[in-house]
Chain A
Amino acid sequence: MPTPVPVSSLFAIFPEIILGIAACIIFVWEPFVPKEKRDKIAYFSLFALILSGLSLFLLCGQNISAFSGMIVIDAYAIAFKALLVLSSIFVVLMSFQYVKTERIHLGEYYGLILFATIGMMFLPSASDLLSFYLALELMSMSFYVLTAFMRKDEKSLEAGVKYFLVGIFTSGLILYAIAFIYGITGTTHLGAIRATLAGVGNANVATNPALIFATILLIAGFGFKIASVPFQMWAPDVYEGSPTTITAFLSVGSKLAALSVMGRVFVFGLDAYSADWQPILWIISVLTMTLGNVAALVQTNFKRLLAYSSIGHSGYFLIGLIVKSESGMSAIFVHSVAYLFMTLGAFVMILLVCKEGSRGDQISDLRGLGRSHPVIGIAFVLFALSLIGIPPTAGFIGKLLLFGSAIEGQFYGLAVIGVLNSVISLYYYFKVATVMFMEEPSQERTLSFSIPIKIGLWAMSIATLVIGLYPEPIIRAALHSVKVLF
């Protein structure tokens, strides 16, 4: 006899249910909407995302373990869910004009974004390796299609295939790791894994040599998802080829979702085993920061530049995990908030200069933008400052907390290498600012403006500045939310 699903479990995934229903409606509704009225679908998905985001408020303060411990709703999960919904909202806002320009104005586009969002939102609340794997697959599947969404564009198809092949390989690695962990500990539930490794019941588990193998596999799997060295090779090509909005989504939503679950798996689940995974992540973090920032120096394509900058940021994020303290994890959250606004903001620049027949992703396409449109130029300078980590911007607060947690945890080497990388990053971000402000515009230019993208850009700029000047609420929320991991 099948056990009925308890109502409390359904309540716990209420925000995801809203999105699921909305996505299904879109797929059914899409054929009946004439081409010129497809904006309706975009507004509908925007509405669904906002509704889902608001419904998170209902869960605030709750501590629910749903579906026999597969899903957990706690402050950590809610904080990251809110962040991920926000990233999807911005991506939809950015898509309005872009999908028309690139002639990919199809309803499925928004449906897939919603499905990806559902997968992302499940990730931070996955308290079992299996639910984590399912959520990861749901997110990745949607992205495989989205990256190849410009069916007639070779680069987009190449990106889609590359991402697909790397993605399924990664899934295999993670599944293999899960199998090992299950074999060693006899459970896939993170709480139980934590307890077993800590020596409750069986003291020999943590010394099992297969555990290091499983950890390496897990790190490799996550490494692919957040594009950290040496698992980053796919990122520049996929980022360059995908539709720009999807690149933005991939570099923000997908990365933050994977990071949030890394916090749960490593800091919470494998806590007792940290002496072994910390050094591995240390090396990966340093390589990632350095390679990302150094490779970004020579890029002429703005999307590739942002891809390498995003790789670099993965390295900074890892600092918080390595430190493995409350301040480190809360720094990851604060920097995630900053990263969301500043990275999406930088991608808006590409969308604005994107025209039919020109993707607008060369740095030279931005020539003189700061002269012809000073407000846009100032907004970009703000994002660039934030990406480098110069006050008074959100990115400064994020990096301050990350480096601060490294110093507090006595990882001085990480802090120094992080700082050196920030100096390097100044050069390539301001190379773009220089092109925007100090070179003449090449010709009369009309920007691809739409009301939604304007709203998005204003919101991102104001958020970047306000968080930089008054980060108190965000820091407080971050400190509160990461307590459940310790």
Chain B
Amino acid sequence: MTNVFNFPILSLIAFLPLIGCIVLLFIDKSNQKMIRHFTFGVSIVTMALSFLLLLGFNADDVNMQFAEKAAWIPTLGVEYLLGVDGISLLLILLTTIITPIAIISSYTAIHDRTKEYYVSLLFLETSMLGVFMALDLFMFYIFWEVMLVPMYFLIGIWGGGRRLYSAIKFFLFTLFGSLFMLLGILAVYFLNHDPAIGSGTYTFNLLTLNQMKLPMDIQFWLFLAFFLGFAIKVPMVPFHTWLPDAHTDAPTAGSVVLAGVLLKMGTYGFVRFCLPLFPEASHYFAPTMVMLSLIGIVYGAFLALAQKDIKRLIAYSSVSHLGFVMLGMFALNPQGLTGSILQMVNHGISTGALFLIVGMLYERRHTRLISDFGGLATQMPILTTFFAITMFSSIGLPGLNGFIGEFLILVGAFQYNKLFAGIAVIGIILGAAYMLWLFQRVMFGPLDKPENKILSDLNGREIAYMVPLIILMFWIGLYPKPFISMIDPAVMSIVKKVNPSALPPTGAVALASTRGNK
């Protein structure tokens, strides 16, 4: 573990929003402008600092980088341990980019209890960043749980519809899973103390725990415990029912962060903890996981087709898209895993953008029912353009980011089982169907509703926060190499541990040729 910077940059990035949060508490609550600009400023500085990580990041190094280590609770063996590899770095960047966008998109949407709102958002950012950086299971769990509180309040206070119901449902579902994960963590902790299995010490250090040689029957149960924690968060069918409610009733920024980052915490958990800690069990459960993913892909897509509410439709599309992420991951080969990680980022960008667009429509029209719209294309040309690009990115049109991720996942799935890849393709087709149909019903057709004739197009602020997302869609779509090479060493080391047979004899070369094909 190394740190090329000689100061704790990861702590600085993770806790800067929290410091901002505390300062914010002392700003007069009537000074709304100041509160907004301050929050936005904090998140921008956090983003800038996270770009610094890119400068120092060594893409060829398989070890954890920018590591920080200190004793925290020595009697329990808890350490303050932060570090990133390519996978977590990518998700950290996603978080630091999505958060300022979520903040700036709330400028006009939130008028009630503004200060508390921005405090919650910044607090949320710290906990999300912490999840992606923590390498100590105890610390990871703390960030993972702390995240629930601000999200609960974001949905419950500033949400719409059945917000109280959705907020508590979100909280209950996630807590249910994560407490089982906590038991799993504790079991791993005690098992590691057995010298026959682990290092013989009491530690939550993931890098040490990764060396454990757990018997298969223990792995079986531990995998299930961690699975509950992560699968509910992803969410995988049949644990997905909290998602449409939470997404629909959350405020726009809440939905953006929820779709953009929070769901990735679940998939990240699988990659970072489940696969390396329980390789044999992962192998054993792979067919089940792939089946659940496929059900999620097709079922989510069918449900999306049937929705009347735009936000609900996008929520169900998330279920379908995250099915792809899980499918690629449990194909347990380099292509699938690479695609899966890339697709986490892609889904964050495109679904985040879709929620932003719904938010803009809702702010102008105060409805989200598809049938209340129609013919907006003539009235709002800029929004239509953004919406079209985002939609195509979500569908997976070549040239945009979604294509790269889905393609790699399908390559991975095809190697795993041709039939499964075929079923996944049905999901893509359905995805195109519900998205295009949505776009057609909202944007085209006659502009027959009088309320819609007075809608104004996007203003400068709205364009400003959409543009970075659009740029990213094209960038990943046209030139994904920097992103792929960033995660490549981490992916290889995970596959090597879980499923060495999937590695081609000359592993890196084979993947490079896949990359060259695009």
Q: A residues touching B (Cβ–Cβ < 8 Å)?
A: 371, 374, 381, 385, 388, 390-392, 396, 400, 403-404, 407-408, 415-416, 419-420, 422-423, 426-427, 430-431, 434, 437-438, 470-472, 475-476, 479
Contact = CB atoms under 8 A, between A and B. Distances in A.
B146 interface: yes
What 8 A-B pairs come out closest when comparing CB atoms? A391-B142, A419-B179, A404-B186, A423-B176, A472-B73, A407-B186, A475-B75, A408-B190
Contacts of B439: none
Contacts of B75: 472, 475-476, 479
Given A400-B186, A476-B75, A391 B116 contact: no
A385 B148 CA distance: 11
A76 B182 CA distance: 29
A262 B70 CA distance: 38
Nearest to A371: B113
A438 B112 CA distance: 12
Nearest to B176: A423
A426 B178 CA distance: 13
Which of B142, B175, B190 has the most CB atoms of chain A within a 10 A radius of its CB?
Answer: B175
B429 interface: no
Contacts of A415: 183, 186
Q: What is the interface of chain B mostly: helix, strand, loop, or mixed?
A: helix
A459 B182 CA distance: 29
B153 A400 contact: no
Nearest to B163: A438
A270 B462 CA distance: 71
Given A430-B168, A472-B73, A475-B73, A404 B190 contact: yes
Given A422-B179, A426-B175, A392 B146 contact: yes
B187 A407 contact: yes
B190 A390 contact: no
A408 B186 CA distance: 8
Nearest to B143: A391
Given A390-B145, A434-B156, A403 B186 contact: yes
A479 B74 CA distance: 13
Nearest to A407: B186
Contacts of B113: 371
A391 to B, nearest CB: 4
B164 A426 contact: no
Given A374-B116, A419-B180, A475-B76, A390 B149 contact: yes
A396 B187 CA distance: 17
Interface of B: 72-76, 113, 116, 141-142, 145-146, 148-149, 152-153, 156-157, 163-164, 167-168, 171-172, 175-176, 179-180, 182-183, 186-187, 189-190
30 contacts: A381-B149, A390-B145, A390-B146, A390-B175, A391-B141, A391-B142, A391-B145, A391-B146, A392-B142, A396-B142, A400-B186, A403-B186, A404-B186, A404-B189, A404-B190, A416-B180, A419-B179, A419-B180, A419-B183, A420-B179, A422-B179, A430-B152, A431-B168, A434-B167, A437-B156, A437-B157, A438-B164, A472-B74, A472-B75, A479-B75
Contact of B149 (A385, A416, A419, A431): A385
A7 B72 CA distance: 44
Contacts of A472: 72-75
Contacts of A438: 156-157, 163-164
A397 to B, nearest CB: 9
Contacts of B183: 403, 407, 415-416, 419
A416 B190 CA distance: 16
A240 to B, nearest CB: 25
A437 B120 CA distance: 14
B179 A423 contact: yes
A126 B263 CA distance: 54
A470 B78 CA distance: 11
B145 A419 contact: no
Nearest to A437: B157
A416 B225 CA distance: 11
A427 B172 contact: yes
B443 to A, nearest CB: 35
Given A419-B179, A426-B172, 5 more contacts: A391-B146, A407-B190, A416-B183, A423-B179, A472-B74
A407 B221 CA distance: 13
B220 to A, nearest CB: 14
B149 to A, nearest CB: 7
Contacts of A470: 72-73
A189 B153 CA distance: 55
Nearest to A422: B179
A85 B414 CA distance: 68
Nearest to A408: B190
A437 B73 contact: no
Contacts of B146: 390-392
Contacts of A391: 141-142, 145-146
Which of B163, B164, B167, B183 has the most CB atoms of chain A within a 10 A radius of its CB?
Answer: B183
A351 to B, nearest CB: 25
Given A390-B148, A404-B189, A419-B182, A426 B157 contact: no
B261 to A, nearest CB: 19
A400 B176 contact: no
B70 to A, nearest CB: 12
Contacts of A431: 168
Contacts of B116: 374
B24 to A, nearest CB: 13
Contacts of B73: 470-472, 475
A230 B145 CA distance: 34
A236 B152 CA distance: 30
A408 B202 CA distance: 12
A423 B178 CA distance: 10
Contacts of B153: 437
Contacts of A475: 73, 75-76
Nearest to B153: A437
A420 B179 CA distance: 8
A77 to B, nearest CB: 22
A58 to B, nearest CB: 26
Contacts of A404: 186, 189-190
B182 A403 contact: yes
B25 to A, nearest CB: 9
Nearest to B138: A400
B383 to A, nearest CB: 32
A334 B157 CA distance: 34
Contacts of B168: 427, 430-431, 434
Given A419-B180, A438-B157, A472-B74, A430 B171 contact: yes
A475 B186 CA distance: 17
A85 to B, nearest CB: 25
A423 B171 CA distance: 9
Which of A371, A381, A385, A438 has the most CB atoms of chain B within a 10 A radius of its CB?
Answer: A438
Which of B113, B167, B168 has the most CB atoms of chain A within a 10 A radius of its CB?
Answer: B168
Nearest to B173: A423
A423 B148 CA distance: 13
A427 B175 CA distance: 11
A376 to B, nearest CB: 14
A28 B114 CA distance: 56
Nearest to A431: B168
Contacts of B76: 475
Nearest to A410: B190
A312 B145 CA distance: 22
A416 to B, nearest CB: 7
B308 to A, nearest CB: 26
A434 B187 CA distance: 34
Which of A396, A404, A420, A475 has the most CB atoms of chain B within a 10 A radius of its CB?
Answer: A404
B74 A434 contact: no
B19 to A, nearest CB: 15
Nearest to A330: B75
A434 to B, nearest CB: 6
Contacts of A427: 168, 172
Contacts of A471: 73
A422 B180 CA distance: 11
